[in-house]
Structure 1
Amino acid sequence: MLSRGDLTDGEWAVLEPLLPVSNNRCGRWRNHRQVINGIIHRLGTGVQWRELPERFGPWKTVRKRHLLWSADGTWGGLLRHVRSAVDAEGGIDWNINVDSTITRAHQHAAGAPQTPPPAPSPAKGGRRRPVRRLPSIVMLHGLREGAVPKGEALGRSRGGLTTKIHIAAEGRCRPLSLLITPGQRADCTQFEPVMDKIHVPRAGRGRPRRTPDSVSADKAYSNRKIRAYLRKRGIRHAIPEKKDHKAARLRRGSHGGRSPGFDKDRYKDRNTVERAIGKLKQFRAVATRYDKRGYVYLGTVTAAALLIWLRS
């Protein structure tokens, strides 16, 4: 299964040249391969960090490395490189499909502080000890403002705390872009942000590819704004029209405009995004959110997507 097993020699050969060799504080990093294998184990099992088997080394090291790489965009950079290599070989099907899925948040995912904790008071006659904090996720490379909304991307509903993953998947059931929002956020409001996050660098010279050949989505994405966005970018689409939209258009007669084109055969391929979501949810740490911070959970989902690309 995609979510099981340590890195193979071939997978490690792809990742090793891209990983940092120094942490700029204490010299060289601890064995990256051992740490990544620990992260993979946690992704697949959803186990608590402190319950990691001893063969992965100190659990605090594995946890801190995942938090740091989620914050500084390392996971996103690795994913972009792997997609670029696949695209150079013509391995990406650019007929993409867009959808979303809701994940339940564990009770341990709630309660993240809204502001950084204040520095502790200095001991009597002593010096104030500095507090180590991760940089602001808004300013870090790879996590543009708006990538993780306020409130740590947690929403409340009858089912409790939920997070929604918005995904654009290529024709071979692999994620091209990912976005997380609170669970109650409407799908159509995130269509443009998901499309704008498609970014596949060229292996040689040239601008990164951002425009797919075609897009398919369900009726949740059927509105004039989305169709105008796709028409402006010259992207063919297969999005069925809602019944109430069709009735309103017909009531207006000639002023209602023409019916939007719809390719039934192209729409049949929309199942690829459902299968991509199924692959992501093979990872228990994705299917159930255990991370308090939104940027950490986004890093968890991105690391799972990286494994899907490496192992597909």
Structure 2
Amino acid sequence: MRRHELTDRERELLAPLIPRAATGRPRVSDRQVINGMVYKIRTGISWRDLPERYGPWKTVYTRFRCYALDGVFTDALQHLQAQADTVGYIDWLVQIDSTVVRAHQHAAATGRKGAPLADEPDDHALGRSRGGLTTKIHLACDSKGRPLAVLVTPGQRHDSICALPLLERIRVPRTGPGRPRCRPDQVIADKAYSSRGFRAYLRKRGIAHTIPEKTDQRRHRRNRGQRGGRPPSFDRDIYRQRNIVERCFNRLKGIRGIATRYAKTAVSYESAVTIAPFLLWARSV
């Protein structure tokens, strides 16, 4: 095993989930190709610059796109989560937050001929601000700093708008009969998620939450007197655990292909972001 490649343990966990071709010519081994994908994402190099030991770069890229469109990496991540949840290894005290990623100039060349992909957004999850092109990664993780769900949006998209779609992406399958686990026990978030609509959504689903109230919301509630209602409950001791999601972002951004977006399409970049949580889970399961 070389640097920036899968370990034997990670390979054992991923191997049963990789689709295999039933017919056709013998192809480059799955481990060789997947090592090329991981090497590319961890180093941030161009596909054309992949070392020859991983086979033709077109083969690695084509198979990566097929896996991305088929949701192979998402299924692999959920498979590890299901194993951890079966033995009670997931603490459902969930933290949510987001981080902004600068997009490289190569990611802006998204012009494509032919019909657009069904799963690809029209804006390719690219937003423009004074800092240039950016993409935002929304993350939900457990109390051990392991990602449960990932959502990629344009950089200017507000956190409160993406809170509901992010939580709805949490789907931990059961190893036996039963529906996937989708509801956390409690959610911890910062002031960006302090909205009446989001709090009402959490109460409707029976999810406890620890979210600080914004200053203007507190002032508006006090000005209304009795009509303003009671202040939302807030536990400072529980809120101190929110640094876990920040540390999770630090580990993800240690991967160069995630810290800077080089992928042209949102599907490819989100698949790259999903590979990193798989590696984090593989080390802890």
TM norm. shorter chain > 0.5: yes
The two structures, once aligned, show a CA RMSD in angstroms of 1.5
On the 8 A contact 2:139/2:150 being kept in 1, the answer is yes
The whole-number CA distance in structure 2 between the counterparts of 1:240 and 1:114 is 44
Judging changes above 3 Å, is the alpha-carbon distance between structure 1 residues 201 and 28 closer, same or farther for their aligned structure 2 residues? farther
TM-score, normalised to structure 1, is: 0.87
Determine if the alignment matches structure 1 residue 244 to structure 2 residue 216. yes
Determine if the alignment matches structure 1 residue 12 to structure 2 residue 11. yes
2:61 equivalent in structure 1: 63
1:128 equivalent in structure 2: none
Provide the secondary structure at the position in 1 that maps to 2:41: helix
On the 8 A contact 1:168/1:177 being kept in 2, the answer is yes
Q: CA deviation at 1:209?
A: 0.3
1:46 equivalent in structure 2: 44
1:116 equivalent in structure 2: 114
Specify which of 172, 182, 186 is matched with residue 210 of structure 1.
182
Determine if the alignment matches structure 1 residue 185 to structure 2 residue 154. no
Identity %: 51
On the 8 A contact 2:28/2:55 being kept in 1, the answer is no
Specify which of 242, 245, 254 is matched with residue 282 of structure 1.
254
The whole-number CA distance in structure 2 between the counterparts of 1:219 and 1:212 is 19
On the 8 A contact 1:96/1:214 being kept in 2, the answer is yes
Q: Unaligned 5+ residue runs, structure 2?
A: none
Determine if the alignment matches structure 1 residue 256 to structure 2 residue 234. no
On the 8 A contact 1:153/1:180 being kept in 2, the answer is yes
Provide the secondary structure at the position in 2 that maps to 1:98: strand
Q: CA deviation at 1:27?
A: 4.7
1:106 equivalent in structure 2: 104
Judging changes above 3 Å, is the alpha-carbon distance between structure 1 residues 237 and 28 closer, same or farther for their aligned structure 2 residues? farther
On the 8 A contact 1:21/1:28 being kept in 2, the answer is no
Q: CA deviation at 1:83?
A: 1.0
Q: Unaligned 5+ residue runs, structure 1?
A: 118-134, 139-147
TM-score, normalised to structure 2, is: 0.95
2:166 equivalent in structure 1: 194
On the 8 A contact 2:32/2:55 being kept in 1, the answer is yes
Provide the secondary structure at the position in 2 that maps to 1:230: helix
The whole-number CA distance in structure 1 between the counterparts of 2:137 and 2:257 is 13
Q: Deviations along 1:49-103, whole A, 9 cap, x unmatched?
A: 1111111111111111111111111111111111111111221111000000000
On the 8 A contact 1:23/1:29 being kept in 2, the answer is no
1:301 equivalent in structure 2: 273
Determine if the alignment matches structure 1 residue 37 to structure 2 residue 9. no
The whole-number CA distance in structure 2 between the counterparts of 1:72 and 1:18 is 12
Provide the secondary structure at the position in 2 that maps to 1:161: strand
On the 8 A contact 2:17/2:72 being kept in 1, the answer is no
Judging changes above 3 Å, is the alpha-carbon distance between structure 1 residues 137 and 86 closer, same or farther for their aligned structure 2 residues? farther
Q: Deviations along 1:149-174, whole A, 9 cap, x unmatched?
A: 32100000111100001111111111
1:149 equivalent in structure 2: 121
The whole-number CA distance in structure 2 between the counterparts of 1:225 and 1:187 is 13
The structure whose Rg is larger is 1
The whole-number CA distance in structure 1 between the counterparts of 2:25 and 2:143 is 43
Judging changes above 3 Å, is the alpha-carbon distance between structure 1 residues 114 and 246 closer, same or farther for their aligned structure 2 residues? farther
Q: Deviations along 1:238-265, whole A, 9 cap, x unmatched?
A: 0000010000000000000000000111
The whole-number CA distance in structure 2 between the counterparts of 1:23 and 1:291 is 30
Structure with greater helix percent:
2
Q: CA deviation at 1:115?
A: 5.2
Provide the secondary structure at the position in 1 that maps to 2:45: coil
The letter of the residue matching 1:113 is G
The letter of the residue matching 2:92 is W
